[in-house]
Structure 1
Amino acid sequence: MFSSRRSFLQTSGCGFGWLAASALAQKQAMAAGGALLDKQPHHTARAKRIIFLFMQGGVSQVDSYDYKPRLLRDDQKVIDIADARTVAKTGKGSPQRLKKPLWEFAQHGETGRWASNLFPNINRHVDDLCFLHGMHTEGVAHGPATLFLHTGTTSFIRPSMGSWVLYGLGAENENLPGFMTLSPSLGNGGPRNYGNAFLPAVFQGTPVGRSGLPAKEGNIKNITNTIWTPEQQRKQMELLRSLGGHNMAPGDQEIEAVLESYELAARMQNNAPGTLDLSGETADTLNLYGIGDKVTDNFGRQCLMARRLAEQGVRYIQVNYGDNSNNPAWDQHSNLPKHGDHAAAVDKPIAGLLSDLKQRGLLEDTIVWWGGEFGRTPYAERNGTGRDHNPGGFTVWLAGGGVKAGYAHGSTDELGHMAVDGKVHMHDLHATLLHLLGLDHEKLIFNHAGRPFRLTDVHGHVVNEILA
């Protein structure tokens, strides 16, 4: 006899590795009541899925999309500034030297939206974008702010947004995970950024690759079985199901959940490898995403993979641009020109994704969300060569899926420092994205430990002004 359920699962699960007990626990049917079945939304949905392009570390809004002429006029001028980051460090404000943008701004598209030449390819799509210039959030450091972006809390273990989406809507495709994250970072929240927390394990995100690993090498661990034939695996599954039934006590959901996830793993063996394989794409498509070019190949592969997952009905797809260091990607405290290198790596792939989604008709029911955990300050830092964290005012953009195209909402002050008009808190953005998917953030509730929980806690308002 096995000494515990855990030892039973570990010793009898060799045919599928230990795959299903980790991020692929996608069929916790008894615990979640058939949760992955496609569900009815709370109201008519404008979109079916989200592709989140996470720019880890915080892109400078005043160097990209938030045009502030005063920074040009008062470059190097010293003024007193008291923001959350400064106060957290010193307990008070302090004199700071203003820093002009390093990239030139111009108006683009028929709508004449201001944008710098940091992202020249994305700028060709400004008439499809909806800019939120009055964003603000919680957390002055990467860890808390990144966790808040993903889970709505700066410190506690709470379900990630992708998990909430899957919990609320179920899956469109029973042969693939409904929530997938491409090349996630191991730091600043790590697995918590795609974790299910107290939601049933069926709603956990599935990582593909990891930050620091080339995207062309990224895959789902143990997705193929090179030892057993399909017939042998089928017989093993029948045996596991039989043994599981005999070992389950009344109300014991753990074994059933993992056995069901083994079944998903078996179905994925026939579906996921083909979905993640880019070799069948045309040369024109590969070029559109910058695949084959040393600078853009890695992120281009992630963006193309995101399009393929969207086509296959994956509900929530996160594409991560970052790394595993304490100062991730866009975090330029002392080397702001590095923004240019990062922009060169993501600009063409993101523009390619927008073009590809649009020409395939997918942009109509797909929300593309671009942004980081916060922005950056309008003043210089560390000998005038970088910018500090700024949770008080920054920009994100959305495209497709029921948002107004070629629209700009909200603003920061004349320095690009603090959100002052049309302010959108991260809770508000979460509420709005859920609304576009047909989910009421006040009704999307899970009861745990004697109290109801939701992604937006007791906060959040839908930003109706940006709805098409």
Structure 2
Amino acid sequence: MNHPQCSDNHGYGPSPCDLPIPLELKQEWKKLETRRHFLGRGSNALGWAAMASLLAGGLSGEQRATAAATSGQGGILDGPHFKPTAKRVIYLFMSGGPPQMDMWDYKPNLAKWFDKDLPESIRGTAMPTGMTAGQTRFPVAPSKWGFKQHGQCGRWVSDLLPATAKSVDDIAVIRSMHTDAINHEPAILLMNTGNMIPGKPSLGAWMSYGLGSTNENLPAFVVLNSKFTVGNPQPINSRLWGSGFLSSRHAGVLLRSAKDPVLYLQDPKGMDRNVRRTMLDAVASLNQQTFDELGDPETQSRISQYEMAARMQTSVPELTDFSDEPQSTWDLYGETAKQPGSFAFNCLMARRLAERGVPFTQVYKRGWDVHGNVVGDLPKLCAETDAATHALVADLKQRGLLDDTLVIWGGEFGRTIYSQGGLSRDNYGRDHHAKCFSLWMAGGGIRGGISRGATDDFSFSITEDPVHIRDLNATILHCLGIDHQRLTFKMQGLEQKLTGVEKAHVVRELLR
């Protein structure tokens, strides 16, 4: 097979298209080959006869698109491995590393340690990052904010989070999270994909691969990136919601905060939907010919993605039109929820996606990398996210969606109790900290009002019930009815899993 773009080999050997396809690549395609393709190659006549009987006289182009889109949303599993407690996930990702001792890990005895060096018996052999390795002192910086007990559970919560404090009886706080990475890029990759090496599928992609979606008009995995407003703008990228070695149709779809959440939602001037339907049918026919010849499953993914894009032209404008929301919505989420791209807007959008059956929504909020201005930046970050976070949990609960929607809040690691740089009563900084941090979960089978794990008096090391990211991911999959050891994809001779090859445990104490 020759392609025009490959015809010019500049006189040096054969054209790339004349070279044999490597045996390993052929075998990989063969393993990924769909049943439809197998039947088509094995017996076209049998395949067409079976299809004719199923179609009962044939389908129009739009009907074929509907069937293709619907089948394209299915997962690799016939169904959950066991009865799930959650049908969908909303993951609020606080990119940068929120300081646990300023928000969820209350340490009342630290006030007397202000500006004293963290004892070597506590710091041990832990290596600081390059940003604090040159410090000769490691002065303790107690939280500047007070804590109060809230809810029937009596949870201690920072005064920075007055709204979320109202939801404490619905959430479970894990104070003993820990990670293997100390810098942002590997840590955020590990948190989102289960691996510090780029190129692995994200959590949402694994869910889409395993279970698919019942919504044929919206993606199975939607990403909402909140506008940066304050703090250190630690970058994020599409690797965090990519599909890795899985089919590209499982990757997260990023909705923009601009006027059009998705580019080219409107048809060009002079083109109506009938013309567009004809064009899509023609493109699908060409792609199908390519698939019949080569068997590359990514060709089928491309067909499915084109059809999904066409259906999103109708579904996305309806999704993002908030005109049907009552005044009670704005009373709950606040007026900033009317500003596209704000964290509050994205929380409201996450609720609307949950209502429409989207299985996985991830909301990113950057700015939590508080190296040098905790007192200045942290109150602003909390003010921007606190009310909206509570609103999302409360809204899901009042609509009867919280019981089967798993909500997760957290970042990629924690922060140090010692100050980075200078220290005063009015300000301090905190470096990265991998040995312990806090994260919470709510709904979807989680026992509300409980805490899991504990840290020492300096929020520096775990003293009870450590929870690794692998354990967290195993627990998330368990809530979805998936055995993390049985959701696999064979790649490079290994049965790849979200939780990797090391031992991972479902944290059953968190479950109802």
1:434 maps to a residue whose letter is L
Q: Which position in structure 2 is the counterpart of 1:269? A: 313
Q: Which position in structure 1 is the counterpart of 2:402? A: 363
8 A Cα contact 1:291 1:297, kept in partner: no
The structural deviation recorded for 1:279 is 2.6
8 A Cα contact 2:337 2:348, kept in partner: no
Q: Which position in structure 2 is the counterpart of 1:461? A: 505
The structural deviation recorded for 1:283 is 2.1
Secondary structure of 1:125's aligned partner: helix
Q: Which position in structure 2 is the counterpart of 1:280? A: 324
Q: Which position in structure 2 is the counterpart of 1:42? A: 81
The structural deviation recorded for 1:222 is 2.1
1:153 maps to a residue whose letter is N
The structural deviation recorded for 1:256 is 3.2
8 A Cα contact 1:83 1:392, kept in partner: no
Say if 2:155 is the partner of 1:113. yes
Q: Which position in structure 1 is the counterpart of 2:440? A: 397
Cα distance change, pair 225–82 in 1 and its aligned pair in 2 (3 A): farther
> How much is the aligned-residue C-alpha RMSD, in angstroms?
2.6
C-alpha separation between the residues in 1 aligned to 2:371 and 2:133? Answer: 20
Say if 2:243 is the partner of 1:196. yes
- Normalising by structure 1, we get a TM-score of 0.87
C-alpha separation between the residues in 2 aligned to 1:443 and 1:94? Answer: 49
C-alpha separation between the residues in 1 aligned to 2:237 and 2:151? Answer: 38
Q: Deviations over 1:315-351 (max 9, x none)?
A: 11001111xxxxxx01111100110011010111111
Cα distance change, pair 254–455 in 1 and its aligned pair in 2 (3 A): closer
Say if 2:181 is the partner of 1:139. yes
Unaligned regions of 5+ residues in structure 2, if any?
7-31, 38-70
C-alpha separation between the residues in 2 aligned to 1:419 and 1:389? Answer: 16
Q: 1:330 aligns with which of 368, 381, 389?
A: 368
Q: 1:319 aligns with which of 335, 346, 363?
A: 363
Cα distance change, pair 30–276 in 1 and its aligned pair in 2 (3 A): farther
Matches within 5 A, 1:313-462: 313-322=357-366, 329-337=367-375, 338-384=377-423, 385-459=428-502, 460-462=504-506
8 A Cα contact 2:249 2:304, kept in partner: no
C-alpha separation between the residues in 2 aligned to 1:278 and 1:216? Answer: 15
Say if 2:115 is the partner of 1:76. yes
C-alpha separation between the residues in 2 aligned to 1:427 and 1:178? Answer: 23
Cα distance change, pair 61–245 in 1 and its aligned pair in 2 (3 A): closer
Percent of aligned positions with the same letter in both sequences?
38
Pair member with larger Rg: 2
C-alpha separation between the residues in 2 aligned to 1:122 and 1:104? Answer: 15
The structural deviation recorded for 1:280 is 2.1
C-alpha separation between the residues in 1 aligned to 2:340 and 2:260? Answer: 16
Instruction: Name segments (4+ residues, structure 1) moved above 6 Å.
Output: 87-94, 184-187, 293-297
C-alpha separation between the residues in 2 aligned to 1:232 and 1:220? Answer: 21
Unaligned regions of 5+ residues in structure 1, if any?
6-27, 210-214, 323-328
Counting matched residue pairs gives: 435
8 A Cα contact 1:31 1:200, kept in partner: no
Q: Deviations over 1:218-257 (max 9, x none)?
A: 6122233243211111111222233334444142434333
2:114 maps to a residue whose letter is D
Say if 2:221 is the partner of 1:179. yes
Q: Deviations over 1:121-165 (max 9, x none)?
A: 000111111000111012111111111100111123211111011
Cα distance change, pair 448–189 in 1 and its aligned pair in 2 (3 A): farther
Q: Which position in structure 1 is the counterpart of 2:29? A: none
Q: Deviations over 1:178-225 (max 9, x none)?
A: 00110179965511000001001111110112xxxxx46461222332
8 A Cα contact 2:338 2:345, kept in partner: no
Secondary structure of 1:262's aligned partner: helix
Q: Which position in structure 2 is the counterpart of 1:150? A: 192
C-alpha separation between the residues in 1 aligned to 2:125 and 2:317? Answer: 48
8 A Cα contact 2:247 2:301, kept in partner: no
8 A Cα contact 1:31 1:253, kept in partner: no
- Normalising by structure 2, we get a TM-score of 0.80
The structural deviation recorded for 1:292 is 3.9
Q: Deviations over 1:274-305 (max 9, x none)?
A: 11222321222023111347999811100000
Q: 1:56 aligns with which of 80, 90, 95?
A: 95
1:331 maps to a residue whose letter is D
8 A Cα contact 1:82 1:92, kept in partner: no
Q: Deviations over 1:433-458 (max 9, x none)?
A: 11011111111100012211001102
Q: Which position in structure 2 is the counterpart of 1:234? A: 277
C-alpha separation between the residues in 2 aligned to 1:409 and 1:61? Answer: 14
Cα distance change, pair 246–466 in 1 and its aligned pair in 2 (3 A): closer
Secondary structure of 1:171's aligned partner: coil
Cα distance change, pair 83–61 in 1 and its aligned pair in 2 (3 A): farther
Q: Which position in structure 2 is the counterpart of 1:17? A: none
The structural deviation recorded for 1:120 is 0.7
Cα distance change, pair 406–278 in 1 and its aligned pair in 2 (3 A): same
Secondary structure of 2:91's aligned partner: strand
Cα distance change, pair 29–70 in 1 and its aligned pair in 2 (3 A): farther
Cα distance change, pair 129–220 in 1 and its aligned pair in 2 (3 A): same
The structural deviation recorded for 1:388 is 0.8
The structural deviation recorded for 1:37 is 1.7
C-alpha separation between the residues in 2 aligned to 1:420 and 1:32? Answer: 54
After TM superposition, the structure 1 stretch with the greater mean CA deviation from structure 2, 297-306 or 140-149, is 297-306
